[in-house]
Amino acid sequence: MHNEREQAGKVALVLGGSRGIGAAIVSRLAADGAKVAFTYSASPDRAEALVARLAQDQNEAIALQADSGNAAEVKAAVDQTFQRFGRLDILVVNAGILRRATIDQFALEDFDRMVAVNIRGVFAALHYAAPQLSKGGRIITIGSNVAVRAGFPGTSVYAMSKAAVAGLVKGTAIDLAPRAITVNNIQPGPTTTDMTKEVAEFVLPLIPLGRMGETREVAGLVSYLAREEAGFITGASLTIDGGYSV
């Protein structure tokens, strides 16, 4: 049986951690015993509420304002985490945005913003965090199952951005393998969050298990990949979507 506080003494940074899947990941890693820093871009109230909620359970967390579309702010978040806690063991890159339109209607500014956050922001996180990560550390990106199956119109650019992350993870896993740092990508399918309320009715018939995913299920997979027992998994993209992309 695994140790519920297996991450005691470890430090995690979650980019995009104030709500939805990100908040569930922050809560789970804190429950596993890690000290957690997390970023938010536009919801300071939610971020501070999460810090306070974790403090009630004697879990230490700090919230850092950072726009993942701005590489300097990503670097600052990595540096502030290291300065505050003195180490970095787990990096989770969850920040991402979704804008939908068919290819002929997709605005170039929206394309540039999605690339800045969903691809360049992930690269910046890996680039700046890698030198700080402990030997045997963990990097986990949150992609999407649209990298496997786009599914419906309007997803071309989002699918491209998430496929790019899956490719980036493969190469990074090789780069960091000499330091026993594993690098993996989780690809959630439709998951119940604020972002997906409007599409729930539309996607439910496409999911063989007949329900949306829960944020805690994605967080559970993050928790597993961050553990010592997952040390032989690297460069993988693990899809968690109720069979949607089967």
- Name the residues annotated as catalytic: 158
Q: Give the whole-angstrom CA distance, residue 119 versus residue 20.
A: 20
Does residue 147 contact residue 187 with C-beta atoms inside 8 Å?
yes
